[in-house]
Amino acid sequence: MATLELYSKGASVWIPDPDAVWVSAQLLNDYKPGEKQLSLQLPNGNEVQYPVSSPSDLPPLGNPDILEGENDLTALSFLHEPAVLHNLRVRFLDYNSIYTYCGIVLVAINPYDHLPIYGEEVIDAYSGQDMTDMEPHIFSVAEDAYRTMTREEKNQSIIISGESGSGKTVSAKFTMRYFAVVGGASQQTSVEERVLASNPIMESIGNAKTTRNDNSSRFGKYIEIGFGKNGDIIGANMRTYLLEKSRVVFQVIFHWWVSLLRLRTSH
C-alpha cells in the first residue's frame, strides 16, 4: 500500500469498471484518514464518489505518464493489476509491440495474426546481444539461454506457459527457429520443422474444446534439443507430460499413439 500522502488532489488512481475492468480517475480533493468516500473525476468529465471504509480500500495509484509504455514492467512505480494491464494495452495498441519484459520473464500477447518480426534479419539483430540492450522479443530470451549454455556449458530451460489459445506452440516454434539459425542448422536439417511435424499426432490425443481453442491439448510438451560442442543442433526429443487420461476414450489407441511420440531427430 502506498503512503497516504500520495492520495492528494490531482493524483491518478484506478477504479473497477464493469466494462473496461479498470478505468483511470483523478482525485478532486486530498484524502484525509477517516473519510468514507473519494471525489473522483473520470476521463469523460463525470464526477463520481468512490466509497472508502478504511485506508486499505483506497484504489490503486496510477503511474506517472513518463512511464507509460515501459518495456519492462518492473520499471513501473506501482506494479499492480491495472498498471500491468494498462501498460500492456499501450504497448500493444500504441507501440504495436506484443512483447514486454517483467524482469527475466517475457510477457507475450497473442495478436492472432502473422507479424513480420521473426525473419532471419531479426534473428541476426538479436544474435550476440544482451537482453537489456534490445527491445523485448522471444529471440532475446532464446539468445540469453543459448549464450549462457555455450559459455557455461550447462543445460538451460525455457518455460513457455499460458492459457488455451495463447500461442504456446507458435512461441516454441520461433524459439527453435532461432536455435536452428544461430546453431547453423537451418539450411542443413531443419530440426525445428522435423520436431514440430509431430504436432498433428500430439494434438490428436486428449484434446478438448475450449472457449478460445477448438483443439486444446490436455497435456504439456517437453522438447529437449541437443547441441554439439560447437553450439550446433545435433538432435531433439519431444515427449508429453501431465496428460489428462480421462480425456482419452480408448486406452488401447492411446498406448499406440504414445509409441509414435518418441520422436528423435539427428543429422
Are both 181 and 215 inside the same structural domain? Answer: yes
Question: 142-181: per-residue pLDDT in tens?
Answer: 999 999 999 999 999 999 998 877 888 889 889 988 988 8
Higher pLDDT, 51 or 232: 51
Question: 230-248: per-residue pLDDT in tens?
Answer: 888 888 887 777 655 555 5
CATH assignment of the domain containing 185 = 3.40.850.10
Question: 75-109: per-residue pLDDT in tens?
Answer: 999 999 999 999 999 999 999 999 999 999 999 99
C-alpha cell at 217: 491439448
Closest by CA to 103, choosing from 127, 126, 129, 79, is 79
Are both 11 and 131 inside the same structural domain? Answer: no
Q: What pLDDT shows up at residue 223?
A: 86
Q: Determine the structural domain holding residue 153 and report its residue range.
A: 110-247
State mean pLDDT over 23-50: 94
CB 196 within 8 A of CB 179: no
Question: 178-225: per-residue pLDDT in tens?
Answer: 988 887 655 555 666 676 666 666 566 556 666 666 766 667 788 888
Are both 28 and 116 inside the same structural domain? Answer: no
Are both 95 and 189 inside the same structural domain? Answer: no
Are both 86 and 146 inside the same structural domain? Answer: no
Where is the binding site, in residues?
A: 162-169
Per-residue pLDDT band at 253 (split at 50, 70, 90): very low
Are both 138 and 240 inside the same structural domain? Answer: yes
Where is the binding site for ATP, in residues?
A: 162-169
Are both 72 and 164 inside the same structural domain? Answer: no
Are both 183 and 116 inside the same structural domain? Answer: yes
CB 48 within 8 A of CB 112: no
